[in-house]
Amino acid sequence: MSSLENEARTFRYSLSQRRVFRNFDPNLRSQEKSVEYVRALNAAKLDKLRFEDQFRKLMKLLLLFFFFLYSKIFARPFVGAMDGHIDAVSCMAKNPNHLKGIFSGSMDGDIRLWDLANRRTVCQFPGHQGAVRGLTVSTDGRVLVSCGTDSTVRLWNVPIPSLMESSDNEAKPLAVYVWKNAFWAVDHQWDGDLFATAGAQVDIWNHNRSQPVNSFEWGKDTAISVRFNPGEPNILATSASDRSITIYDLRLSSPARKIIMRANEDCNCYSYDARKLDEARCVHKDHVSAVMDIDYSPTGREFVTGSYDRTVRIFQYNGGHSREIYHTKRMQRVFCVKFSSDASYVISGSDDTNLRLWKAKASEQLGVLLPRERKNHEYLEAVKNRYKHLPEVKRIVRHRHLPKAIYKAASLRRIMTEAERKKDERRRAHSAPGSMPREPLRKRRILKEVE
Amino acid sequence: MKQFRSSLNSNRIVRQQWSLPPKASLQIPHIFPSPVRHLHLAPLRPPSKPPLRSDSAATQEKKEEANEKRPRRGPHLPNALQRELSLLNRGEPSDGDDEINFDDDAVGNDLYEYEEGIPEEESKKNRRFDPVENYQFELPEDFEDWKVASDEGEDDDNDDDNLDGDDNENQDEGRHSRMLEEITGLPSDAFGGRKKKDFIISEAYPESEYNPSGDILDGDGRISIQDLLDPLHGKSGFSKLRKSLHRMEKKSITTLTPLPKTDQERLERKAAYEQSKKDITKWEPLVKRNREAPTLYFDEDVDLGFSTIGAIASEFEPRTDFEKKIASLVNQNEFVEAHKKDGARLLELNKISVEDVMDRQERLAKMRSLLFRHEMKAKRIKKIKSKTYHRLLKKDRRKAAEAAIHMDPEAAKEQAMKQEFKRAEERMTLKHKNSSRWAKRILQRGLDAQDEATREAFGEQLNQHAALTRKINSVKESSSSDESSDGDDSDDMLVGSDQDISSKLITKAKEKTLKVLEGDEELPKSGVLSLPFMVRGLQKRREAADEEAKLALEEYESSLKQLEDQSVSGSHDRSASSGRRVFGVQKKVVNETRKKEKLNNYYGNSDSENDVEAEEDDVTELNQHDKSLREADIDPNILREEFDIGHDSVFKSFGGTEDPEPKTTYEVAFLASDSWKKISRSSYDASKQTEDSNAVRKGKVTIGTMERDHNNEKNDGDSDTDSGGEMVDGILSSGPRSTYELPSQAELIQRAFAGDDVEEDFEKDKEAILNEENPEPEKPVLLPGWGQWTDIQKKKGLPSWMLQEHETAKKKRMESLKKRKDAHLNNVIISEKLDRKVSEKLHTKTLPYPYTSTEVFEQSIRMPIGPEFNPATAVGALNRPEVVKRAGVIIKPIAYEDMSARERAEIRKRSGGKKQGKGKGKNRSMK
């Protein structure tokens, strides 16, 4: 068959892309490993190429990325800021039924609904007298529940997305339930009409009742956060001011188990298996100040944390250290973070009254990707992943630009932990063998498990 | 104590204070051990029925018993219950037990009792008192008093435990009971202990079932269920009741005491936790699968609302007025019908066979691919910057066009049009008629002052002009002559007549030019052309034209002369027989004129051979008078002879008119070949001289043939004037090739690289590399005083161990050399030096985390994953990311699915024909 005929035949398959037939005999291509290594290296470089570095490195890498310059794949995670609040943003809630909508509550009692696509306020919900501490939305996305330090729980009607375009309208509460104590947090059950508030005790509410249908109390300490398990909607967990984490089961109308930790604002995150609470599954270290909020990605593979050290970090579910750190000069203490429902964005609310929208993958290309483009990205990602252990690639992939304060705090922390470790070692060396059993950090931080 | 006794006569019985208040007892514990303590020591026994005895001993015994059992007075619980209770409370401190018993008493008596608290030292509440296991003055259980035998024993019996007052009372009681016994005749047991005082109490209410009499309330007369049942005996339902009672007695269930609240809650929480644990555990296989899965898919079951454009369009409803109007128009019956009909017709037309469609598609595809290819090629060519390439390309194109002229009349016509246009342009602008600034400047300076190249260029442009203008004339004239001398066509074949015609033509032209020269056209006196600068321009041009005309006249004259000469010599110019004879003639003229201008002092005239000889002389000087030089000297002469002898008609004509040009060319060619020979000779020396001469001989022959070739080419009619130059080129390039027999490739290479020995060089290189990579061991050096005593050193030379060491080192080196990959490959060097930089870059220092063995890790990165190294079907799977999701699609939380059921379904599917259903369910990880 002549090449022309072949061409004519193959042309029918795809108009844009000619199929190329290759001989895959490995003896013909002995350099494939090094070729792929170099590709991985370049991919890593391109991924790391942050916006501000772009012009600095332009001269050096001009040839390399002239093509990529237009494909927008540089690590520019910050998409935009949403300002409008006049006090710190204390809590947020995402609409589980509508991707663009996100609610935010601030310390002055203001609640806003934002349109993420054009980053504008769509609707406001005035009413709270004090700070709004908790926001949550029912699974169908119709009802917004808010609670705050004014001891009220307020239910609101969420405006319909299609009519959201009319900006700056104010909504009236559907119901206001006044209760005995100030609230710290609220969370809604998945696919149900119950929601739980945390305060002096944990209360379970129904949409239609002005009083809680159930209350849990275990000890006298205030619960400061509450979260339902989305997969198992009857199980919820709270954290309290006595450094405890408590699991509740709604069906049994009693709390189930509590662990008390030694870790109070120790900058770490701990993930547990709910069945084995005597040991954390993983300790996620990297923050240099207290972690204020955590939200899991809907994929379950990673989670985002917001910290008092003015950074947002993204961790793998099993990663001891963060995959990504986001910060800007203007972002202050982060009080709340959320993963978007499609797992491709991260939203953070901070002390500086702004909500910020970030990409979940810093170097991801936004917009529609052509199949070939997507394949190429996938390939580069796979190659990078494959060679991530090699020193050069590792160095580039791990490199992050940190604010000076955080860099210094981190190094100080490192020195401190090292000193602690050394001291421990010496103590161990000078005590009778076996008298100081080694305990992993996962266990060490747990004071006790209360039945 | 007296007051107590007096109060005994009242309706109420107040429990006596047996012991001192706790504080007092603390002070005197040794003297007065508390009765409670005593009670504590007393074993718990079920109440036994008191024996009816009248003697004093019996009374005493009874009293003792009563004393012991004092707290058990009043109605008792049924035996079974009591047993249960005892079982229950065995573990607990007996204080509580006692207390309970007291409570029972209180209930049983229906009397208001002073509830005496347990003394604080007994209750051990706040540990204020030291616990004493055994009081010092406490009597053991088996203690027997010495007064036991006496009748008044009971007095002494209670002596140690009771106060003095109590003693008296007891004595009184004893007497009193005896008296009562005698009076009533009832057994003394009935009023045993202190309860006998109850007997005295006159009841405030008559005895009834609501107000039981004293003997019923007494410890003996206990009311059992049997008692209650007895009166019902014989009545209906009695047996039923009794049966159920039996049953109850058999399977008695005791209600436990409720636990303290904290414990209760803890147990509850524990149970709750276990429950929720179990609930969560059901997720385990699901979570495990998701954690282990290389890829999670979140882009399935995505409903984007509308699937097709048609579906979207069908949903459309007109809303605005405009839309409604349009809709009404569109939906009108006529339009609809028309549309329908049209559609039907279209459908009819659409009946095309599949083959046709395929054919058409294929054709289209082919065309498209061709176009594409062409485009790509054009792009590629456009990108090439080489000027040489483009020049060559142009040349090729021109040649192709010329070929097309012969083949294709239309192309020829087009070409002719183009030429015509060019000519017209030339005529209009006289661009090449020394009118440009450059040409003027050269003329101003004088041609002699210019260098060779400039002169050539100058000549060239004049040539061009001449060619362009002349052509027109010729074409015109030929056409006119064709028109005029139609009849002469047959005669055209004759050379003589041809020549005549040409001479005639020339004379005609001469006349015309003369006319032009003489007949000054009048300058226009009006219009734009009458403007002074226009007039000046015209005049200038006219002058130029005049000059040209003069030149032309001269040319005509010369050509006429030439023609006359030719006719005189009578030689037949074969070239003239072709249709181009006119050109040929004129060309000669052109060449002549050119000669006038540029070749004047270069080759001068026909006797250029002197120059050539001179040049050759120079060359020979360089070669120091070899034999060959002589030959070279001779060569031109031979050539001349050849030229003379050749007698080719063309040559004749050339020789006549433009001798120098061909001559020079040949000589140049010869020179070139000669010089080449000389170069080759430098390497080959004298041994090849014979060959040289041969070559020269051959050269002669070939030159002859070439002349013929040349001739033919002329005949073919290279109309362009630069053909001469081309020919020179051709000869230059082809001359030596044709004259010299090529040696074989091997020979050539041998000759070319005669000087250098490549193999040896390579060996040296290899050795150097080997030495570098496996360095030779240092030779042992003799240092006086080192290794051995100097005298021994002098005698024996180097110490043996040094030599041995050297030997082993050498051996080692040899071995390592043998082990090298290129040891057996003589012509190859395989470097085994490790580039540290590269190796550092391409290797990890430690084994990365999830891997446990090096082999596994290396295996994992062994195969490439790129699209260049893998088939397209495999690339997707190799490069798939960990999470496949689609931007803008909401991911819902994981939903529970029964893994075991899933697996079963999968197995069924697998067994049933292995369909490609991969069974990607909802893969969602659990938070």
A432 CA: distance to closest CA in chain B (Å): 33
Which H/E stretch holds residue A89? strand A89-94
Q: Please tell me which of the candidates A11, A32, A381 has its beta carbon nearest to residue B869.
A: A32
pLDDT band at B204 (very low <50, low <70, confident <90, very high): low
Query: A451–B927: do the CB atoms touch at under 8 Å?
Result: no
Query: B883–A301: do the CB atoms touch at under 8 Å?
Result: yes
Quick one: which of B773, B674, B368 has its CA closest to A4?
Answer: B368
Instruction: Tell me the C-alpha distance between B709 and B735, whole Å.
Output: 12
Size of interface A-B (CB pairs under 8 A): 182
Give the lowest-confidence range in A412-416, B491-495, B877-881: B491-495
Q: B353-382 pLDDT, tens per residue?
A: 888 889 999 999 999 999 999 999 999 988
The reported pLDDT for the residue numbered B683 is 44
In chain B, residues 803-862 whose CB comes closer than 8 Å to chain A: 840-845, 848, 860-861
Q: Which CATH number do you get for residue A337?
A: 2.130.10.10
Say if A15 falls within a structural domain. Answer: no
Say if A368 falls within a structural domain. Answer: yes
Q: Read off the pLDDT of each residue in B674-678 and give the average, rounded to a whole number.
A: 44
Quick one: which of A125, A123, A178, A120 has its CA closest to A153?
Answer: A178
Structure tokens at B98: 């006692």
Question: Across A269-318, where does the E strand assignment appear?
Answer: 269-273, 276-284, 291-296, 302-307, 312-316
DSSP-derived letter for residue A75 is B
Q: Note whether B288 contacts A: Cβ–Cβ < 8 A.
A: no
The reported pLDDT for the residue numbered A26 is 81
Structure tokens at B809: 């080192």
- The CA radius of gyration of chain A, in Å to the nearest whole number, is 26
Q: Pairing mode, if any, of strands A446-450 and A89-94? A: unpaired
Q: Please tell me which of the candidates A375, A382, A392 has its beta carbon nearest to residue B841.
A: A392
Query: A300–B925: do the CB atoms touch at under 8 Å?
Result: yes
Say if A401 falls within a structural domain. Answer: no
Say if A126 falls within a structural domain. Answer: yes
A99 CB neighbours in chain B (<8 A) are 888, 890
**Is the distance from CB of A303 to CB of A295 less than 8 angstroms?**
yes
CA B28 to chain centre: 96
Torsion angle in degrees (nearest 10) through CA of B438, B442, B447, B452: -50
A39 CB neighbours in chain B (<8 A) are 866
Query: A379–B893: do the CB atoms touch at under 8 Å?
Result: no
Q: A242-266 pLDDT, tens per residue?
A: 999 999 999 887 888 899 988 778 8
ipTM of the complex: 0.89
A245 CA: distance to closest CA in chain B (Å): 14
pLDDT at B702 over 50: no
B896 CA: distance to closest CA in chain A (Å): 7
**Is the distance from CB of A49 to CB of A57 less than 8 angstroms?**
yes
The answer for residues whose C-beta is within 8 angstroms of residue B266's C-beta and 6 or more apart is A451
Give the lowest-confidence range in B323-332, B363-372, B651-660, B777-786: B651-660
- Pick from A271, A275, A357, A368 the residue to mutate for testing the B interface (most B CBs within 10 Å): A275
pLDDT band at A316 (very low <50, low <70, confident <90, very high): very high
Q: Pairing mode, if any, of strands A302-307 and A312-316? A: antiparallel
Which H/E stretch holds residue A256? strand A254-261
**Burial class of residue B143 in the structure, from the number of CB atoms within 10 Å of its CB (0-12 exposed, 13-18 middle, 19+ buried):** exposed
The reported pLDDT for the residue numbered B452 is 86
Find, in chain A, the residue whose alpha carbon is nearest to that of B860. A386
pLDDT band at A424 (very low <50, low <70, confident <90, very high): very high
Find, in chain B, the residue whose alpha carbon is nearest to that of A340. B890
A252 CB neighbours in chain B (<8 A) are 268, 271-272, 275-276
pLDDT at A168 over 70: no
Strand, helix or coil for residue A302: strand
The reported pLDDT for the residue numbered A105 is 96
Average pLDDT, chain B: 66
Q: B892-907 pLDDT, tens per residue?
A: 898 888 877 777 777 6
The reported pLDDT for the residue numbered A184 is 95
Q: B291-318 pLDDT, tens per residue?
A: 999 999 988 766 666 667 888 777 788 8
Edge-first strand listing for the sheet containing A185-188: A185-188, A194-198, A202-206, A214-216
The reported pLDDT for the residue numbered B25 is 38
The reported pLDDT for the residue numbered B459 is 85
Instruction: Tell me the C-alpha distance between B529 and B606, whole Å.
Output: 50
pLDDT at B806 over 90: yes
The answer for residues whose C-beta is within 8 angstroms of residue A388's C-beta and 6 or more apart is A40, A394, A397
A341 CA: distance to closest CA in chain B (Å): 5
A209 CA: distance to closest CA in chain B (Å): 26
Q: B106-157 pLDDT, tens per residue?
A: 444 455 656 566 666 566 666 666 655 555 555 555 655 555 444 444 444 4
Q: Note whether B27 contacts A: Cβ–Cβ < 8 A.
A: no
pLDDT at B655 over 90: no
B280 CB neighbours in chain A (<8 A) are 232, 235, 274-275
B860 CB neighbours in chain A (<8 A) are 386
Instruction: Tell me the C-alpha distance between A44 and A100, whole Å.
Output: 31
Q: Read off the pLDDT of each residue in B786-791 and give the average, rounded to a whole number.
A: 82
- Pick from B274, B296, B361, B890 the residue to mutate for testing the A interface (most A CBs within 10 Å): B890
The reported pLDDT for the residue numbered A247 is 93
The total of structural domains in chain A comes to 1
Strand, helix or coil for residue A164: coil
Q: Read off the pLDDT of each residue in B738-755 and give the average, rounded to a whole number.
A: 78
Say if A315 falls within a structural domain. Answer: yes
The answer for residues whose C-beta is within 8 angstroms of residue B80's C-beta and 6 or more apart is B249, B252
Buried b (16+ CB within 10 A) or exposed e, B745-777: eeeeeeeeeeeeeeeeeeeeebeebbeeebeee
Quick one: which of A313, A338, A328, A288 has its CA closest to A94?
Answer: A338
A129 CA: distance to closest CA in chain B (Å): 34
Q: Please tell me which of the candidates B275, B296, B861 has its beta carbon nearest to residue A299.
A: B296
The reported pLDDT for the residue numbered B455 is 85
The reported pLDDT for the residue numbered A428 is 94
Backbone angles phi, psi at B844, to 5 degrees: -90, 155
The residue range of the domain holding A187 is: 80-372
A297 CA: distance to closest CA in chain B (Å): 9
Say if A312 falls within a structural domain. Answer: yes
- Pick from B369, B376, B878, B882 the residue to mutate for testing the A interface (most A CBs within 10 Å): B369
A248 bridge partner residues: A236, A255
Q: Note whether B321 contacts A: Cβ–Cβ < 8 A.
A: no
**Is the distance from CB of A11 to CB of B367 less than 8 angstroms?**
no
A319 CB neighbours in chain B (<8 A) are none
pLDDT at B889 over 50: yes
B379 CA: distance to closest CA in chain A (Å): 17
How open is the CA angle B91-B94-B97, to the nearest 5 degrees? 100
Residue whose pair of structure tokens reads 């959201």 in the numeric block: A164
Give the lowest-confidence range in A93-102, B80-89, B847-856: B80-89
The reported pLDDT for the residue numbered B440 is 85
Say if A417 falls within a structural domain. Answer: no
The reported pLDDT for the residue numbered B530 is 67
Strand, helix or coil for residue B302: coil
pLDDT at B211 over 50: yes
Structure tokens at B758: 């490549």
Find, in chain A, the residue whose alpha carbon is nearest to that of B849. A389
B371 CA: distance to closest CA in chain A (Å): 11
The reported pLDDT for the residue numbered B313 is 79
pLDDT at B776 over 50: yes
The reported pLDDT for the residue numbered B542 is 81
Query: A231–B296: do the CB atoms touch at under 8 Å?
Result: no
Query: A254–B881: do the CB atoms touch at under 8 Å?
Result: no
The reported pLDDT for the residue numbered A57 is 54
Crossing angle for the helix pair A3-11 and B354-383, nearest 10 degrees? 110
**% of chain B at pLDDT higher than 90:** 9
Instruction: Tell me the C-alpha distance between B691 and B713, whole Å.
Output: 31
Find, in chain A, the residue whose alpha carbon is nearest to that of B870. A24
Query: B875–A379: do the CB atoms touch at under 8 Å?
Result: yes
A346 bridge partner residues: A339, A358
Q: Read off the pLDDT of each residue in B479-499 and give the average, rounded to a whole number.
A: 43
B268 CB neighbours in chain A (<8 A) are 252, 254
| pTM for this model (two decimals) | 0.51
pLDDT band at B914 (very low <50, low <70, confident <90, very high): very low
A261 CA: distance to closest CA in chain B (Å): 19
Q: Which residue has the higher pLDDT, A66 or A289?
A: A289
The sign of the CA dihedral B165, B171, B175, B178 is: positive
The reported pLDDT for the residue numbered A41 is 92
Instruction: Tell me the C-alpha distance between B672 and B735, whole Å.
Output: 8
pLDDT at B909 over 80: no
**Is the distance from CB of A223 to CB of A201 less than 8 angstroms?**
yes
The reported pLDDT for the residue numbered B841 is 82
B353 bridge partner residues: none
Say if A361 falls within a structural domain. Answer: yes
The reported pLDDT for the residue numbered A407 is 95
Query: B882–A35: do the CB atoms touch at under 8 Å?
Result: no
Write the DSSP assignment of B807-850 as a string of letters: HHHHHHHHHHHHHSTTSS-TT--------HHHHHHHS-SS--TT
Give the lowest-confidence range in A113-117, B465-469, B781-785, B909-913: B909-913
Q: Which residue has the higher pLDDT, B612 or B337?
A: B337
B272 CB neighbours in chain A (<8 A) are 249, 252, 254-256
Query: B891–A343: do the CB atoms touch at under 8 Å?
Result: yes
The reported pLDDT for the residue numbered A196 is 96
Instruction: Tell me the C-alpha distance between A275 and A254, whole Å.
Output: 17
Find, in chain A, the residue whose alpha carbon is nearest to that of B363. A8
The reported pLDDT for the residue numbered B92 is 46
**Is the distance from CB of A18 to CB of A11 less than 8 angstroms?**
yes
In chain B, residues 353-382 whose CB comes closer than 8 Å to chain A: 361-362, 365-366, 368-370, 373
A235 CB neighbours in chain B (<8 A) are 276, 279-280
- Pick from A232, A315, A365 the residue to mutate for testing the B interface (most B CBs within 10 Å): A232
Backbone angles phi, psi at B920, to 5 degrees: -85, 105
Q: Read off the pLDDT of each residue in A169-182 and give the average, rounded to a whole number.
A: 89
Query: A230–B370: do the CB atoms touch at under 8 Å?
Result: no
The reported pLDDT for the residue numbered B153 is 42
The reported pLDDT for the residue numbered A238 is 94
The reported pLDDT for the residue numbered A294 is 95
Query: A298–B296: do the CB atoms touch at under 8 Å?
Result: no
- Pick from B262, B267, B270, B273 the residue to mutate for testing the A interface (most A CBs within 10 Å): B273
